[in-house]
Amino acid sequence: MQSGQVAYRALEGRRILLGVTGSIAAYKAAALCRLLKTAGAEVRVVMTPLAKQFITPLTMATLSKNPILVEFFDPENGAWNSHVSLGEWADCYVIAPATANTLAKMRTGVADNLLLTTYLSARCPVAVAPAMDLDMYAHPATQENLRELTARGVKIVEPGEGELASGLTGKGRMAEPEEIAASLNALFAARTDSPLRGRRFVVTAGATIEAIDPVRFISNHSTGKMGYAIAGELARRGAEVVLVSGRTSLPTPAGVERRDVLSADEMFHATVEAFADADGAVMCAAVADYTPAEVATTKIKKNDGELTLALRRTRDIAAHLGTQKGRRVLVGFALETDHEADNAEAKLTKKNFDFVVLNSLRDPGAGFGGDTNKVTFIDRRGREELPLLSKTEVAARIAGRIESLLTKN
């Protein structure tokens, strides 16, 4: 292995939170911590109470040059160890070793120690290096937990085969520190060498709100999660991102410039303006196709009869950008409930998209609100159906496709 500085260049200056759980492999966490520090990363360590039985906090504190965090608060002076600020601080959270117990708790959202509450609060990429006996690793429960965590975007650094602490030989031995450091390096390297670096992208996200009167409106179920994940991912890969956002309750992703709008008309103007000097756009918003022809200035009072609302068409933002795009990249979404692929293909041509990301509301795990999505990419050459993935992972795949388009253009 080459020296740390050369081998893990992308780790320099990164803030890495290292989680250590109670496994015999905890001794390797010391070597990992050292490698990360040598590569120029800032490291903080959070341990489970049991991990202290395997490696001393003093060792980890000395190597990381930071106090070790184990408890929710310091029993001496009552100082609170905030899992939220730890999660915000980190550019990446790596749990190595990760026991079967911790993986199961991560999957179900158990929050009975600082390492786990930090996992639940972390917004950064998370990686785990499982370590356990071969039968525990092969057990369907563990395998199912790993599959589910992968679907949510957790990176698994696979254990190796070899002699285990139990004396048995098989798969379950934690990956070597060099391998873990290399996968963290790859996580950041992809982001610094991206063709998206310095490119300007517009992303639309969330639901629009069409006022009926001062009290009521027409809207839809979009939460904006997919669009926000895309904006965050493009920014992580170095793009300058303008996020034109309808109504959502999500925090603005790091490094993204957010412009809030309400109605489809407002979104049209904000998006067209931002697209003028952009290299591309991803149209993820659920834009109302119709808006009340007139907005009542006072609250509409009920009476006994039916109420008919006259609606007018809104402008199609994506189709408008499609007429102006030239060689720029334009990505659209299609949310369909029937004849999914045919409808999505029609949108590809009609709106002049480079590719369409199709979600079908018929797929379990896809659609509004959740953290997973099941999509198919459709372009002029064909279709690529992806498995059920976390929205973060879908965002990474979309960003990857945009990168190849930018390289070709």
Just list the catalytic residues.
Answer: 220
Distance CA 195, CA 403 (A): 6
Burial class of 179 by CB neighbour count within 10 A (0 to 12, 13 to 18, 19+): middle
- Residue with Cβ nearer ligand CTP (93 or 353): 353
Among 347, 348, 390, 398, binds ligand CTP (CB under 6 A): 347
Q: Considering only residues 308-337, where is the footprint of ligand CTP by CB under 6 A?
A: 314, 316-318, 332-335
H or E segment to which residue 191 belongs:
helix 177-192
Q: How far is the CB of 398 from ligand CTP (least distance, A)?
A: 12
Taking the complex as a whole, the smallest distance from the CB of residue 27 to ligand CTP amounts, in Å, to 51
Token output for 239? 């793009």
Site string for ligand CTP, 226-265 (x = CB under 6 A): --------------------------------------x-
Which of 153, 266, 251 has the alpha carbon at shortest distance from 217? Answer: 266
Q: How far is CA 278 from CA 90, 114, 285, 328, in A?
A: 30, 42, 18, 8
Closest CB to ligand CTP among 190 and 341? 341
Give the nearer residue to ligand CTP in terms of CB position, either 280 or 332: 332
Task: Tell me whether residue 33 or residue 321 sits nearer to ligand CTP (CB atom).
Answer: 321
Output DSSP code: residue 51: G
Q: How far is CA 258 from the centre of its chain?
A: 17
Q: Which of positions 177-216 make contact with ligand CTP (CB under 6 A)?
A: 204
**95 membership: H or E segment, kind and range:** strand 92-98
Under rule CB under 6 A, residue 283 binds ligand CTP: yes
Which region among 36-44, 59-67, 90-98, 281-289 touches ligand CTP (by CB under 6 A)?
A: 281-289
Residue closer to ligand CTP (CB basis): 180 or 284? 284
Coil, helix or strand at residue 159? coil
For residues 356 and 329, is the Cβ–Cβ distance under 8 A?
no
The pair of structure tokens assigned to 124 is 């950064």
Residues in contact with ligand CTP by the rule CB under 6 A: 204, 264, 283, 285, 287, 289, 314, 316-318, 332-335, 347
